[in-house]
Amino acid sequence: MQSSVYPYRVFISYSHADRALVERLDSILRAADLDPMWDRDLTGGVAFKKEIADFIANAHVFLPLVTTNSVNRPWSNQEIGYACALGKPILPVSTIPGDLQGMIAGLKAVFVTEDLADAAPKLTAEVVERLVQKACGNAATYECTENNTGRAMMLAEYADSVASLRKYGHVRQQASLTTFHLPDQGPGHSLWAHYFPRRTDDRALFRALGNERRAMEQHAAREGCRLIIDDTSLLASVYEEQGPDCVAPRVRGLLDFLVSRRDIPVEIAVSNDTNRQASLTILGDWFSSEAISSAVSVSHRKGLREALFTRHQPTIQEQIRSFDLLFEDLLARLGWTKASSRDSAISYLNRYLSRL
């Protein structure tokens, strides 16, 4: 069964004439420890089509509510088609006896009465679990980019697509100094020249990285973060492309986050794995992003080869499990605890700066 920390998200596609019925369906799904999502809280100023697309993309299951009001609804086929294209499991709930029509013809529906009086025992977490697990054998789908500007832009876009639904996720990240060492300033701020002394005019990159920091921080502020950073002995090699003068400002950036944002729950560990070839970001169980280096190791960093983004649940759940096991192992090796890790990391980074 899916962890209660991450209940299955069920997007309800419906006719607005059935709003009262959907409110009842929402209560039934919540009582079953599921997370129903629908467009009752459309954000002002956001295009209708985009937000519905975000709902569908971020859901585990697509649930079309089939009634006499929705049969000829113009949006239905578009939403169903998008869900199919993304490989989302589809669970039709119908108040109309007989075979389903249109794009969901041939699917097995849950038939309920018009007032949903008999729906609760038919729409349990176990029913959704079986449907999701059946779809787990489907191949993972990925979106990718091949440069750091594109990676940062996509990371912000994915994170913002979750926040636009008024949902937030715990941030897990393994990277040299993680997103949280980046300035949250605009591309014209002088800090960027200290981070990228050999690339001072790349405002598109600076803007993208600043947006990445702000997007990820809004999730960490709500749900906390768990970070794995590189051992300081590796940093000169990691940032060799920008020169040795950029290392200290970057370390100070992470220190400033750890010290000044005490309102954000942070657990942090340090890894001296010189064979690490990828950085990993996982937001709740909403999505993951793996940035793969073209180098053979951390100590011979040559730049980004590709960054892979996925919402494929089996992949994300395995990444979460592996990340947490690694995190626990690193803390044990360091002799740190989760509760003390933030202060331990602050002392560790300050000692490094004092030696420079």
Residues of the chain with CATH 3.30.870.10: 143-355
Q: Hey, is 128 helix, strand or coil?
A: helix
What's the confidence (pLDDT) of residue 1? Answer: 43
Domain 143-355 in CATH 1.10.287.3510: no
Average pLDDT per block of 10 residues along the chain, 356 residues long:
72 90 96 92 60 90 90 74 88 88 80 95 94 76 88 96 93 97 94 91 94 98 98 93 92 98 98 93 97 62 77 90 98 98 98 94
Round the CA-based radius of gyration of the chain to a whole number and report it. Answer: 23
Do 154 and 308 meet the contact criterion of CB atoms below 8 Å apart? no
Residues of the chain with CATH 3.40.50.450: 9-135
Region class of 282: left (phi > 0), else alpha (psi between -120 and 50), else beta: beta
- Per-residue pLDDT tens over the stretch 300-326: 555 677 899 999 888 899 999 999 999
What's the confidence (pLDDT) of residue 44? Answer: 53
The pTM is what? Answer: 0.87
How far is 125 from 33, CA to CA, in rounded Å? 7
How far is 321 from 334, CA to CA, in rounded Å? 20
Domain 9-135 in CATH 3.40.1160.10: no
What's the confidence (pLDDT) of residue 97? Answer: 86
How far is 116 from 291, CA to CA, in rounded Å? 46
How far is 232 from 244, CA to CA, in rounded Å? 13
DSSP-H helix ranges across the chain? 19-31, 48-58, 76-85, 125-135, 148-163, 191-195, 203-223, 235-238, 247-260, 313-334, 341-355
For residue 240, what are its two tokens? 């060799």
